[in-house]
């Protein structure tokens, strides 16, 4: 493998950290910045949790024997995520981050373990 991904617990920590960062930084503060730095920071804030979640899924997918079940759960998660995103039109983006953080915490807690350690690829 040309690129090694971090261990699954570090990926989970990265997801939480990126959500906390997105919650802590008010997007309105970026409006006074020049275009390119504003674009880069906004893209990192918006896409880093998604990128890290994809790494977590890939690592868990590599460790599973139930390929069809894993894809089905991933599809259900995508549908739920889309519904929650539409709900953010009413509740606001920052409140959505709290719900997303709670769901990722739930996913972490439900990650299979063997002898207390996460089962990873």
- Calpha distance 66→79 (Å, rounded): 20
C-alpha to C-alpha distance for 110 and 103, rounded to whole angstroms: 10
Asked whether residue 119 is domain-assigned, the answer is no
Residue 121 inside a domain? The answer is no
Classify residue 84: in a domain, yes or no: yes
Low-confidence ranges of the chain (pLDDT < 50): none
Residue 42 domain-assigned?
yes
120 found inside a domain: no
Structure tokens that stand for 107 in this block: 């996913």
State residue 34's pLDDT score. 96
How many domains does the chain fold into?
Answer: 1
What's the predicted TM-score (pTM) here?
A: 0.79
Q: Write down the pLDDT at residue 58.
A: 87
1 belongs to a structural domain = no
pLDDT for res 21: 92
What's the pLDDT score for residue 16? 92
For residues 72 and 66, the answer to whether their CB atoms sit within 8 Å is no
- What is the number of alpha carbons within 13 Å of residue 115 lying toward its C-beta? 1
Q: How many helices (H) and strands (E) does the chain have?
A: 4, 2
In a domain, 51, yes or no: yes
Distance, CA of 120 to CA of 56 (rounded, Å): 9
The answer to whether position 3 is within a domain reads no
Interval 46-75: pLDDT, tens: 899 999 999 988 888 887 888 888 888 889
Residue-level pLDDT at 7: 86
pLDDT value at position 73?
85
Average pLDDT score over the chain: 87
Domain with 57 in it? 8-112
Token pair of 62 as six digits: 């590599």
Report the C-alpha gap between 29 and 37 in whole angstroms.
12
pLDDT the model gives residue 117: 61
Angle at 54 between CA 97 and CA 63, to 5 degrees: 125
């Amino acid at each position: 493998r040309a690129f090694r991904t971090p261990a699954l617990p570090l990926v989970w920590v990265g997801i939480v950290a990126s959500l906390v960062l997105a919650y802590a930084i008010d997007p309105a503060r970026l409006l006074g910045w020049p275009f390119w730095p504003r674009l880069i920071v906004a893209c990192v804030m918006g896409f880093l949790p998604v990128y890290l979640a994809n790494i977590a899924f890939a690592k868990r997918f590599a460790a599973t024997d139930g390929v069809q079940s894993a894809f089905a759960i991933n599809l259900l998660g995508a549908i739920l995520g889309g519904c929650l995103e539409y709900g953010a039109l009413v509740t606001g983006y920052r409140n959505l981050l709290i719900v997303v953080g709670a769901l990722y915490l739930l996913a972490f807690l439900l990650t299979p373990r063997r002898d207390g350690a996460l089962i990873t690829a």
